[in-house]
Each structure stands twice: as structure tokens, then as C-alpha cells.
Amino acid sequence: MVHFDSTNPSSSSKSSQSQNLKIRKVRNHRNSGFKSRDQSPQRIKDPPPFDICSSVLERNDTSIKDWILADETNRETVEVSNKHKVIRPGMVLLKDFLTPDIQVDIVKTCRELGVKPTGFYQPGYSVGSKLHLQMMCLGRNWDPQTKYRKNTDIDSKAPEIPVTFNVLVEKAIREAHALIDRESGTEDAERILPVMSPDICIVNFYSETGRLGLHQDRDESEESIARGLPIVSFSIGDSAEFLYGEKRDVEEAQGVILESGDVLIFGGESRMIFHGVKSIIPNSAPMSLLNESKLRTGRLNLTFRHF
């Protein structure tokens, strides 16, 4: 919010000039995204917001709300799909966890948030290089150079995470716990994969040529990392070849295909694994999703975490 100094009618001309000057300062500051342009170049020219959809559809999140009501009714009973898999201790893949209708609702919600001034942009570094994706932050702002910060500037506070998204994350972790207990024959899942309530969501959109090198998610608080609070990742759209491993070595990394509707969770002793997106598989998104959501060709990825 921009605050202007109060003036009397006789000073309206000076007030107008002062207001215009302050607006220009805010816009220049918004364009840089930081207090100092030396820190990072992103948003220097403030291009038009990136739209993840090819046309505008009316938002309708009744599918998620109906699912939440049904989930609350059957909260004590968690059905575990035979397609789900424990990849390694603390790392779980929930296949087809997000139903087609919920995927459409998520796309529409992300599109609505993404075309606003605080929406999608291409992050980069001060040396001029940029990531091969479009990014939007919810809950708290983050970028690859200056890491987390509460607000980028006075007019670009990160939007709140939709409550429905947090409920989906909670449900996914419960289902992962049920799978771990079933496969281990114990009731020790919360020690292996801690409970996490997200206060950050980083939304990435990868085009067909998008990718992300091997890295660790290590910018969260020391407490969050020490407790092994998990990263929860939603995949929507085109499939991705996801790599993970103990070292930052592509040759030694293992891979798994993440398809539309899949949820990947890694925490506990897997919290600090190296991971990345090697490639996007073109034309692999469900046609029904593209028709109903108008999502552009590519992959929409939401990663939830707790700072």
C-alpha cells in the first residue's frame, strides 16, 4: 500500500506532483523487486504477467470443497492405493492422488493468482542468467539469489496459500503415513516422515523445454530442516523426468516419472536429497485436463514446505 501525505486544497498541485513522484518510485522499486538493483535483476522491466492458460475460464473450486467435506466425514479411514510407493525412507510417491477435477481447480486457482502483479515471473541471478521456468510464490517470497524474504517490497506481498491447498497437503501426508505403516508393519510413520503444515508454496511452470538442475531445498529455517519437515510436490500437466540422489551427480542420480495428478513427498532422512527436473515429456498431459483447464503445454508444479 502506498501512503500519501495529507495536504490542504491550496497545495493540490504540489501534492499531485509528490504523489506522482512516489508512484514512480514504487514502480521502479517494484520493477527491481529489491531494495538494491545490485541484488538481482528479476523484474527490471516488469513484463506482462505470464498466463499459464491459453484462455480465461471461470473459476470453480467446488470439486476441492466437495472432496474436503467427504474427507472430513471419513477422516479416520485412509485408503491406500496399491499404485502408491515408498521410494526410500522418508520419500513417498502417491500416484494419481489428485483427481482430474481437483487438478482443473488447482490450475484455475493458480491462473487467477498468477496473472496478478505478484504472479508468475522468470527468476534469475545478478549475472544475468535465468531459470528455465516461470515462478510464483505463495505465503512467503523466495528467489534463487536472495532466498526467503517476508515481502519483496511495499506493493508485492506474497499472496496467502489457499486453504484448500493446505488441506490437500494434509491429506497427502496422512495417506503417506498409512502407506509407510502398511509397508513397515509398524505405526512409526510420523517419525519416518514428520507432519508438516505448509506456510510456503512455490509454484513453477515448466514449458516443454523447461528443466531444473540438481539442488537441495536448504533455504528453510534450521529448525525445519533439522526436524526433517517434508517437501510436498504436486504435478499437473505434462509428465516430468524427476531425478534424485545423495550427491549432486546426474550420472549417479536415480529417476522417476512424475505424471499429472502425482504427489511426491520427501522428508525425514530424505529431506536433504539432491533433486531436479531433467526434462519435460511433451504432449503427455491428459487431454481432458487441457480441454477443461486450458492449461498451456507444459508442467505445473506446486511445492509446499514450512519455513
Residue 137's DSSP bridge partners are 202
CATH number at residue 267: 2.60.120.590
96 has binding-site annotation: no
Q: Is residue 153 part of a domain?
A: yes
CB 172 within 8 A of CB 92: no
- Count how many residues are written for the chain: 307
Q: Is residue 207 part of a domain?
A: yes
Please give the chain's pLDDT, 307 residues, in tens. 433 333 344 444 444 444 443 333 333 333 333 333 334 434 444 667 799 998 765 555 655 666 566 555 555 556 778 899 999 999 999 999 999 999 999 999 999 999 999 999 988 776 767 888 999 999 999 876 667 765 544 447 899 999 999 999 999 999 999 999 999 988 899 999 999 999 999 999 999 999 999 999 999 999 999 999 999 999 999 999 999 999 999 999 999 999 999 999 999 999 999 999 999 999 999 999 999 999 999 999 999 999 9
143 has binding-site annotation: no
State how far the Cα of 202 lies from the Cα of 83, in Å rounded to an integer: 26
Domain span at 63: 50-305
61 has binding-site annotation: no
Q: Is residue 251 part of a domain?
A: yes
Q: Which residues of 190-206 are buried (b: 16+ CB within 10 A; e: fewer)?
A: eebbbebebbbbbbbbb
Q: Is residue 37 part of a domain?
A: no
Q: Is residue 2 part of a domain?
A: no
Q: Is residue 63 part of a domain?
A: yes
Q: Is residue 199 part of a domain?
A: yes
For the chain, how many structural domains are there in total?
1
Q: Is residue 7 part of a domain?
A: no
Residue 60 is predicted with a pLDDT of 56
Model confidence, pTM: 0.78
Residue 36 is predicted with a pLDDT of 34
Residue 156 is predicted with a pLDDT of 74
Q: Which residues, 6 or more positions from 198, have their beta carbon under 8 angstroms from its beta carbon?
A: 139, 161, 165, 166, 169, 232, 304, 305, 306
Instruction: Using CA atoms of 257, 186, 166, 76 in order, give the dihedral in degrees to the nearest 10.
Output: 120
State how far the Cα of 131 lies from the Cα of 212, in Å rounded to an integer: 7
